[in-house]
Amino acid sequence: MVEPIQKWMETMRPMADKLRYAILLLMSVLVSMSYHPSIEAMRTTGMVGAVILQRAIQLVFLVLVLLLVFDMSSLRHRFAKVSFILALGVLIFGLLVAVIFGQTGLLSEFKLLCPPLIALLTGMQVQWNRKRLLGFLSCFSVAIMIAGLSVLFMQGGGFVISEIYISDHKNALGPMLSTAAIMLAFIFLACPESKKLLKITGKFLLLALILLLLLVVLTLRARAALLSMASILFLVLIQRYKGKSLLITLSVCALLVLAVFFLLPDAMREYVHQSLFAGLSGDFTSGRAERNMQAIALIGDHPLFAQLVAPDNVGVVHNFFLHVASSFGLLFAFPLLALYVYLFVFIIKKIWQSDVKCLPNVGYYVMLVLLLVSFFEYTLPFGPGTVTFVNFVMLGMSLRMDKDLDKEYVVLE
């Protein structure tokens, strides 16, 4: 009985792979368009269009989960194993917190882990090749750029800096737009294949799109995403030319930054300044640094249980590690914090070892976007919702394409 089922699953695997890739393309568009102002207006007024989109995303996720049964080999990967074991620990500890303290916050954190873990496994299952990878990168980049531009022109009146944030979802759009910029920059700057794939006009188009994404993030005033994007672009540049003199590379980069800054028109410099500082109350962090210090003090006073037993609420702490530790204490937050630290160390290690001339390594760099923003936001790198879906799909792709980790995994041809 088992053998016929295995044979049937083996014959269905190629079809499942094609369906899986098609669903990923669809999902990249749906996730991006969910932040379009028209959809947001429908969601606010309770119109049926927003409900249909939400149900469509949920249905797509369900299909991806069902497709997992056709290829469970990705669970043999050490990173996937450790991630799922720690996620299971989050679930168990969440149930304990719910039973002992009557709080379901840690269970909510577990729910946030489910979409990225499904995305990770899906990315590891797809039979990637150069055409598929470039198709996915392009599809997502175009979709999220359309969503970002729509927000600017439908809610903010174009490229105009406002003291009031023009979108309530800037902290979700910012990392997604930054992810797209890193993807395009990786093709433009880091990959030797780009010389064959792109002619001069294509390279200029890519550069224009990267600059446009940068301008959109500036206008949205997503400062954490902007800092993350700039840092990673600089890192890719250094990695790309580190075989040559690193000192010369750093010197050239510094001169370029200074030249661009001083050659910018006054209006553009003012635009950047307004994006960073307009409407701020108090310090540059708008009080976030103070709340972070309060969270550290709370953890110091109640290290094991923090707000589970502490009478004082420090408010929203805009740092993932401090938010989790101050909310649930180091004892019950241990599995989630361990997963976060493990992911962070793993990504830094892979970036240190990786060759940016290899396009499949882009997954490690787009994950770094989420990790850097998590220093300033409490939901990333795992949530909220489907914001991190594409990043974890790309991480799965990079793990699959890494021939040094598993000889059974193919590399781009």
Q: Measured between alpha carbons, how far is 176 from 187 in angstroms, rounded to an integer?
A: 17
Task: Summarize the confidence of residues 155-161 as an average pLDDT.
Answer: 77
pLDDT > 90: what percent of the chain?
Answer: 28
Write out the residue range of the structural domain in which residue 97 sits: 2-401
- pLDDT beyond 70 at 177: yes
pLDDT tens-digit profile of 22-65?
A: 989 998 998 888 888 877 767 666 665 556 777 777 888 888 88
Q: Which two tokens stand for residue 120?
A: 């990770």
Q: Measured between alpha carbons, how far is 136 from 127 in angstroms, rounded to an integer?
A: 13
- pLDDT beyond 50 at 184: yes
Total residue count of the chain as it appears in this document: 413
- pLDDT beyond 80 at 73: no
- pLDDT beyond 80 at 217: yes
> What's the mean per-residue pLDDT of the chain?
81
pLDDT tens-digit profile of 108-136?
A: 999 999 999 999 999 998 888 888 998 99
Placement of tokens 């991630």 in the chain:
83
Q: Measured between alpha carbons, how far is 45 from 299 in angstroms, rounded to an integer?
A: 41
Establish if 410 belongs to a structural domain.
Answer: no
Q: Are 371 and 341 in contact (CB under 8 A)?
A: no
Establish if 107 belongs to a structural domain.
Answer: yes
pLDDT tens-digit profile of 37-47?
A: 877 767 666 66
Q: Are 28 and 119 in contact (CB under 8 A)?
A: no
Establish if 331 belongs to a structural domain.
Answer: yes
Q: What is the pLDDT of residue 36?
A: 80
The distance of Cα 276 from the centroid of its chain, to the nearest Å, equals: 22
- pLDDT beyond 90 at 96: yes
Q: Measured between alpha carbons, how far is 50 from 46 in angstroms, rounded to an integer?
A: 7
Q: In whole angstroms, how far apart are CA 229 and each of 189, 223, 235, 242, 316?
A: 14, 10, 10, 20, 24
**Predicted model pTM:** 0.88
Establish if 88 belongs to a structural domain.
Answer: yes
Q: Which of 86, 144, 170 is closest to 120 using CA atoms? A: 86
User: What's the domain count of the chain?
Assistant: 1
Q: Which two tokens stand for residue 235?
A: 């890192």
Q: State the pLDDT confidence band at 160, using cuts at 50, 70 and 90.
A: confident
Long-range contacts of 67-71 (CB under 8 A, 24+ apart): 67/16, 67/19, 67/20, 67/23, 67/122, 67/125, 68/118, 68/121, 68/122, 68/125, 69/9, 70/9, 70/12, 70/13, 70/16, 70/125, 71/13, 71/16, 71/17, 71/125
- pLDDT beyond 80 at 308: yes
Establish if 158 belongs to a structural domain.
Answer: yes
Q: What is the pLDDT of residue 276?
A: 73
Establish if 276 belongs to a structural domain.
Answer: yes
Lowest mean pLDDT among 113-117, 233-237, 254-258: 254-258
Q: Are 28 and 140 in contact (CB under 8 A)?
A: yes
Return the half-sphere exposure (C-beta side, CA atoms, 13 A cut-off) of residue 304. Answer: 1
Establish if 407 belongs to a structural domain.
Answer: no
